[in-house]
Structure 1
Amino acid sequence: MTPQPTRLVLTRPHTHAGKSYGIGARIEVDDDTAEWLLAHDIATRDTTTPAKPARTETDLPPIQRKEPKP
């Protein structure tokens, strides 16, 4: 079983996996990386709940409308 990634919020700019992130960015990293970032005051644990994914057109119920009578 693969361990769950740790969600962090950056408190300083940081480059992770070749991508630059600014202050306040949320990233998911493995436990060892999370501990390093926390120990160096680069991030804090993300205590917010994950955002729900955006709804797609296929998730929406069909629209029922009445056609005008001729």
Structure 2
Amino acid sequence: MTHLVLTRPHTHAGKAYGVGDRVEIDAASAEWLIAHGIATPEPIVPVSELEPKPLQRKEPKQ
């Protein structure tokens, strides 16, 4: 399955989706939607951005 983000409203499998909605569809349908400017591939977020980053505090000067 392919994950896409819609750039235009679209109805898929009888369900209406709006701009910015994320859909999971088969590769052939994904290629068609991308070719017609209806969707773009969902951006891949690196794992390093998903993990919480440690909080760094600056100590006040004394």
TM over 0.5: yes
Deviations 1:8-34 (A, max 9, x none): 000000000100000000000000000
RMSD of aligned residue pairs (Cα, Å): 0.9
TM-score by length of 1: 0.62
TM-score by length of 2: 0.69
Structure 1 unaligned runs (5+)?
50-70
Runs of 4+ more than 2 Å apart: none
1:28 equivalent to 2:24? Answer yes
Structure 2 unaligned runs (5+)?
46-62
Percent of paired sites with the same residue: 62
Q: Give the aligned length.
A: 45
Q: 2:49 — aligned with what?
A: none
In structure 2, distance between residues paired with 1:40 and 1:47: 19
Q: Which has the larger radius of gyration?
A: 1
